[in-house]
Amino acid sequence: MATSVAARVGSAGALTLQCSASKQTVLSTPSSFVPRFSRERVQIAAPAVRRVITFVAEAREESRRSTEANVGERLKSLVDRKINPIAIAAVNMLVACPALAEEKGKIFDFNLTLPIIAVEFLLLMVALDNIWFKPVSKVMDDRDALIRNKLMSVRDNSSELEALEKEAQQIIRAARVEITQQQNEHKKKLAEKLDAELQENRAKVEAELAAALADLEKQKEETLAGLESQVQALSEEIIKKVLPIPLPAKR
C-alpha cells in the first residue's frame, strides 16, 4: 500500500515537472514569432512599408502577451485545483488490490493490473486533454486567428494605400496644371505691361522728335529770314561800289 502511494506521488511529481517544462516551452514558443527589426532599417524603409511592419509587430506582440497570460492562468488554476480525497483513496485501493493477491504476477500474468493501468492511462489522457491540451490548443488557435485577421486587415489596407497614392498623384497633377496656368497668366500680364510701357515710351520719343523737328524748322526759317536781309544789304553795298551811278530809289 505504501509502495503504491509512493509510486503515485512520484508519478504525480514527474507529471508536475513535465507540466512545468511544457509551460516553459509554450511560453517561450510565441516569442520566436516576434520579428526583430532594427531601427535603422525601419527609418530607411518607405512610410507605407514602415507602417505595415509596425502594425504586424504590434499584433504579434499583443498575441504573445495574451497567450502567456492565458497559459499562466490555466496553470495556476490547475495547480490550485484540489483533488477529492475519496477519489485518491479509491485509486490507491484499486492499485493495491492486485498487489495483495495471493498469487504473484509473472512476466505475462494477466490479472486486474492490466485493465487498471489501461483505465488509469485513459483517465490521464482524458484529464490532460481536458485540462491542458484543449486550453493550450484553443489559445494557440485564437492567437493564429488573431494574427491572420491582423494580416488580412493589413492586406485590406493596401487598397487604401493605393487610393491615397492615386489621390496624391491627382493633387500633384492639379498643382502642376495650376502652376502652369499661373505662369502663363504672369507671362501674359508681364508682356502686356511691357507692351504698354513700350507704346508709352514710343509716344514720348515721337513727341520729343516732333518738337525737335518743329524747333529746327523754326530756327531754319529765322536763319533764312536773317540771311535774306543780310544778302539784300550786301548786294546793295556791292552795287554801290561797282556802279558809280546811283540807282533810283524804289518807290
pLDDT at 93: 56
- pLDDT tens by residue, 163-200: 888 899 999 999 999 999 999 999 999 999 999 999 99
DSSP states along 80-148: HPPPPHHHHHHHHHHHHHHHT-SSPP-TT--STHHHHHHHHHHHHHHHHIIIIIHHHHHHHHHHHHHHH
The percentage of the chain sitting over the pLDDT mark of 70, rounded to a whole number, equals 58
What is the pLDDT, as a whole number, of residue 183?
Answer: 92
9-27 per-position pLDDT tens digit: 344 444 444 444 444 443 3
Computed over its alpha carbons, how large is the radius of gyration of the chain? 59
Mean pLDDT, residues 139-147: 90
**Amino acid of residue 207:** A
**Contact (Cβ atoms closer than 8 angstroms) between residue 235 and residue 242:** no
Q: Which residue has the higher pLDDT, 46 or 42?
A: 46
Q: Would you say residue 64 has pLDDT above 70?
A: yes
Is the pLDDT score of 147 beyond 70? yes
**Residue 90: pLDDT above 70?**
no
pLDDT of residue 75: 63
Q: How confident is the model at residue 228 (pLDDT cuts 50, 70, 90)?
A: confident
The predicted pLDDT at position 85 comes to 53
Is 172 or 97 the better-scoring residue by pLDDT?
Answer: 172
Supply 171's cell numbers. 493633387
Half-sphere exposure at residue 8, Cβ-oriented, CA atoms within 13 angstroms: 17
pTM assigned to the model: 0.29
What does the chain come to in residues? 251
